[in-house]
């Protein structure tokens, strides 16, 4: 069975990822932005079988209303979360906390959609973390390079020698190399 899945998220990049994943599984996916006014209309127009929404989205209450009050158009809703604790989220879904009643659809199908969505979300987060880490490393490298240059000039030594000196200083002081570089750079600003 081909499902009509509506994705609601404020993070366009993440929405894109999830959309591609879900489309790959052969479902029909519609994306929607994170705004209460347009959501009601979209749900009525699109009549999705499943709505996937971020647990921390403010318009969850709007969806809640569609499920509780407008009994003629309740749409099953499942969701993913920013929460770091994946286990907890899974447990919550199993306990029925974050998954609304699913009419006319087997639980296992929804579960598999959640699984895919969450796996993809996880991947997205890992990538983001890696990017942040890489950016930070690069910034550190730049600092160390600059400090090394200053030491070379002052001591009139080779690059290797300067690096060794700084590393020794870091080890003796039980500090990070980048912290030593910071200190040297600050001092250098006074001298230069």
Residues at the site binding another protein, with contacts judged by CB under 8 A = 35-37, 40, 55-65, 67-69, 83, 88, 91-92, 95-98, 100
Whichever of 21 and 62 has its CB closer to another protein, that residue is 62
Cross-strand bridge partners of residue 8: 32, 53
CB of 73 to another protein, least distance (A): 12
CB of 63 to another protein, least distance (A): 8
Whichever of 56 and 115 has its CB closer to another protein, that residue is 56
Whichever of 64 and 115 has its CB closer to another protein, that residue is 64
CB of 143 to another protein, least distance (A): 32
Give the distance from CA 178 to its chain's centroid.
27
**Which residue's structure tokens are 């996937």?**
52
CB of 178 to another protein, least distance (A): 30
Whichever of 72 and 156 has its CB closer to another protein, that residue is 72
Whichever of 1 and 95 has its CB closer to another protein, that residue is 95
CB of 160 to another protein, least distance (A): 48
d(CA 113, CA 137): 36
Please check whether residue 29 is in contact with residue 21, taking contact to mean a CB–CB distance below 8 angstroms.
no
CB of 101 to another protein, least distance (A): 8
d(CA 119, CA 68): 29
Kindly state the helix (H) or strand (E) to which residue 166 belongs, with its residue range.
helix 159-172
Whichever of 52 and 151 has its CB closer to another protein, that residue is 52
- Exposure letters 58-84 (e unless 16+ CB within 10 A, then b): ebbebbeebbeeeeeebbbbbbbbeee
How many residues in total does the chain contain? 192
Q: Which two tokens stand for residue 59?
A: 């318009």
Q: Which two tokens stand for residue 9?
A: 């998220």
């Amino acid at each position: 069975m081909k499902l009509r899945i509506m994705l609601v998220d404020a993070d366009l990049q993440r929405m894109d990822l999830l959309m591609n994943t879900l489309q790959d599984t052969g479902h029909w996916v519609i994306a929607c932005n994170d705004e209460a006014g347009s959501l009601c209309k979209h749900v009525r127009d699109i009549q999705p079988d499943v709505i996937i929404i971020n647990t921390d989205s403010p318009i969850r209450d709007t969806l809640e209303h569609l499920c509780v009050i407008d009994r003629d158009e309740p749409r099953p809703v499942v969701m993913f979360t920013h929460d770091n604790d994946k286990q907890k989220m899974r447990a919550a879904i199993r306990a029925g906390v974050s998954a609304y009643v699913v009419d006319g659809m087997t639980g296992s199908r929804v579960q598999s959609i959640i699984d895919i969505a969450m796996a993809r979300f996880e991947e997205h987060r890992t990538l983001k973390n890696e990017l942040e880490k890489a950016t930070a490393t690069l910034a550190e490298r730049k600092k160390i390079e600059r400090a090394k240059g200053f030491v070379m000039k002052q001591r009139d030594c080779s690059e290797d020698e300067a690096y060794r000196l700084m590393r020794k200083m870091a080890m003796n002081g039980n500090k990070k190399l980048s912290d030593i570089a910071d200190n040297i750079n600050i001092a250098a600003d006074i001298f230069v």
